[in-house]
Structure 1
Amino acid sequence: MSGPFESYPVSLVHRLIEPGPTLMITTAGGEWPTVMTNGFSMPVRHDGTLAVVIGPWDATYGALHRSRECVIAIPGLDLLETTVDVGNCSSADTDKWEQFGLTPLPASSVQAPLIAECTANIECAVVDDTLVESYDLWILRARAAWHLPETGAVEFHHRGNGTFSETGTVHDLRHRMTKWPHLT
């Protein structure tokens, strides 16, 4: 023990960092487009490069290998239970669109559909899959993005153990970003 801290399992450190909002990811192909829940994602660069972890345990994995493109959809808090339920079954044997009342919309640059009920959708292409075999990590580049402005939608984050937190209050400190004004 070090001071007031208690030991924490290294295998659970992802819960301390919490990678980002819980997502739904769609791909095209097969009997119906796949849709999965994803809690491991991150921005990589300011040019629209993103990364997601999708492994062979997900039907989306094979579809992403074949199509090389997907849509990252960001659900609002109103879809919390639906998002969890989507993650509890497989697109290999379930039409999740029908089962959960999700509405596919055509994308502008990829075959995978947008999810109408989500607050934002990002159309992506795979640009690097060299880390997939070792880490199930896909590097994607955004081709187009869509959002519902002025919705005040609240994102939610999976804490890694079946609990979720919601996005909190926004604090506008753009005026303090003196080293990085081009990012504001």
Structure 2
Amino acid sequence: MSRKVDVPVSDVRRFLEPGPVVLVSSADRGDTDIMTMGWLTVMEFTPSLVGCIISSANHSFGLIRRSKACVINLPTADLIDTVVGIGNTTGAEIDKFAHFGLTAEPAVHVAAPLIAECHANFECRLVDGCLIDKYNFFIFEVVKAQAAARPKHPETLHYLGGGAFMVSGRIISRRSKFRPEML
């Protein structure tokens, strides 16, 4: 192993945020939005709970807070320019679906639209808002999940900070080494 060097604590996200970048779609009172999110956390498996921080300065914040719902959409690496473009614009000024040529499809359980071009879509309802006022932290329950049948392991984007992304790589299976109840 190579010698370790000190890194600024502000850069730890390069090491700790390996999860995929997602596009969060929302809707309220006839207004829709999409935001790029580089961090979220799975909090529980059953029910499926996901936590994330949404800045109160973000247009989506108000839409999601009022509607108490959103869709977490999983883009693939081929959408990288769209992902960056969405992150660099505000839904307060443009219709991001139209501007970026994305297809809004109706969800089953929430008012927020699905993004058809994404590999997977997770319809979410706010189940706990106790940390919103203090930390802008939302806790959602995934109430419906759907994903494309192929590819089984899509190339997803992972934000490293500073405008750099990593694309998911090769798959290494160790399934045979797991206890069945741990899979």
TM-score of the superposed pair, with normalisation by structure 1: 0.93
Partner of 2:5: 6
1:32 shift after superposition: 3.2
Q: How does 1:1-184 map to 2 (within 5 A)?
A: 4-47=3-46, 48-151=48-151, 152-178=153-179, 181-184=180-183
Provide the C-alpha distance between the structure 2 equivalents of 1:102 and 1:69, rounded to a whole number of angstroms: 20
The unaligned stretches of length 5 or more in structure 2 are: none
Q: Which runs of 4+ in 1 moved over 6 A?
A: none
TM-score of the superposed pair, with normalisation by structure 2: 0.93
Provide the C-alpha distance between the structure 2 equivalents of 1:170 and 1:156, rounded to a whole number of angstroms: 15
- Larger CA deviation: 45-54 vs 97-106: 45-54
Provide the C-alpha distance between the structure 2 equivalents of 1:125 and 1:183, rounded to a whole number of angstroms: 27
Query: Residues 19 and 169 of structure 1: is their aligned pair in 2 closer, same or farther, counting only changes over 3 Å?
Result: closer
- Larger CA deviation: 58-67 vs 149-158: 149-158
Match of 1:28, SS state, is strand
Provide the C-alpha distance between the structure 2 equivalents of 1:26 and 1:183, rounded to a whole number of angstroms: 32
Q: Is the CA contact (8 Å cut-off) linking 1:104 and 1:115 kept in structure 2?
A: yes
- Larger CA deviation: 156-165 vs 127-136: 127-136
1:129 shift after superposition: 1.4
Q: Is the CA contact (8 Å cut-off) linking 1:19 and 1:41 kept in structure 2?
A: no
Match of 2:80, SS state, is helix
Q: Is the CA contact (8 Å cut-off) linking 2:28 and 2:64 kept in structure 1?
A: no
1:134 shift after superposition: 2.4
1:45 shift after superposition: 1.1
Cα RMSD of the aligned pairs, angstroms, is 1.4
1:60-98 Cα shifts (integer Å, max 9, x gaps): 000011000000000011101101001100011110000
The unaligned stretches of length 5 or more in structure 1 are: none
Q: Which has the higher strand share?
A: 2
The share of aligned pairs that are identical, in percent, is 34
1:19 shift after superposition: 4.4
1:12 shift after superposition: 2.0
Q: Is the CA contact (8 Å cut-off) linking 1:70 and 1:112 kept in structure 2?
A: yes
